[in-house]
Amino acid sequence: MVTEDQLEHEDEEGEEMHFLDHLSELRLRLGIIVASISVFAIAAFVYSVELFDVISAPFFAAFADDILIGTGPAEAFILRLKLSALCGTIISIPVIFHQAWLFIAPGLLDHEKKYAMPFVFTTSALFLTGVWFCYKLVLPFAFDFFKDQYLALGHVTPTIKISEYMSLLIKALLGFGVVFETPVLAFLLGRLGLISSALLISGFRYAVVTIFILSAILTPPDILTQFLMAGPLILLYSLSILIVRYTGKNS
């Protein structure tokens, strides 16, 4: 006869095995993501000189008569590594979102699994749109603003460290890529019944404050660039309200 203690022990063992299965699956997905980023980063390293010309273009468009400087013997090499890792990550975005989908797919219903390709396509497109928006629109405005501040002072010559420029670039590009995922996050939370359009509407004022705080963290320290991030984010939040209204469980 099976006792209550034995049943309890079997339940605990089952939960432990279930957790270990999830952990093993997570390691597999992370391993594939790391491998993808590594392969593309190695390929990008071969072309890192040409890629540097691309990523430095917004800077030199504003600071045409100035230079970027290195302050350490290994800084050029480290710069090429960072640039390669950044490009490897951006190119691997479809792989990253596909692996994320495969990780959560076992917990989905059969009719929900058909959203795999739309999910991967939409998340990848939104992320890359955020990166493009930052590179083509935000960074040029930001560097023009920074250059104007030097001109206003009149007797200060800008000599910018390449490491600082690269850190700013990585933070801005990836930050914009991530925040452009807002509609997808809203769709998923709406389908799970965790948010509703009414909740999003009632929290709009708080969302605007949060957006400006997030913009201040993720962008260079000037008002213009913060507005350039905050504006699209507010539009994306408004779009999220419509998405949740028509696709959410509780809307």
47 occurs within a structural domain:
yes
pLDDT tens digit string along 186-196? 887 787 777 77
* 191 belongs to a structural domain: no
Q: What is the pLDDT of residue 13?
A: 46
Secondary structure of residue 235 in the 3-state scheme:
helix
pLDDT, tens only, 220-247: 666 776 777 788 888 888 888 888 887 7
If residue 68 lies in a helix (H) or strand (E), which one and from where to where?
strand 68-69
CA-CA distance, 37 to 139, in Å (whole number)?
Answer: 25
The answer to the question of residue 48 being in a domain is yes
State if pTM tops 0.85.
no
User: Nearest CA to 94 among 121, 68, 58?
Assistant: 121
The parent domain of residue 44 ranges over 4-180
CA dist 78 and 85 (Å) reads 11
Of 37-41, 73-77, 151-155, the least confident: 151-155
Q: How many domains does the chain have?
A: 1
Establish if 136 belongs to a structural domain.
yes
Picking from 215, 205, 204, the residue whose alpha carbon sits closest to that of residue 244 is: 204
Does any domain span residue 100? yes
Within-domain flag for 11: yes
Tokens of 12: 């605990």
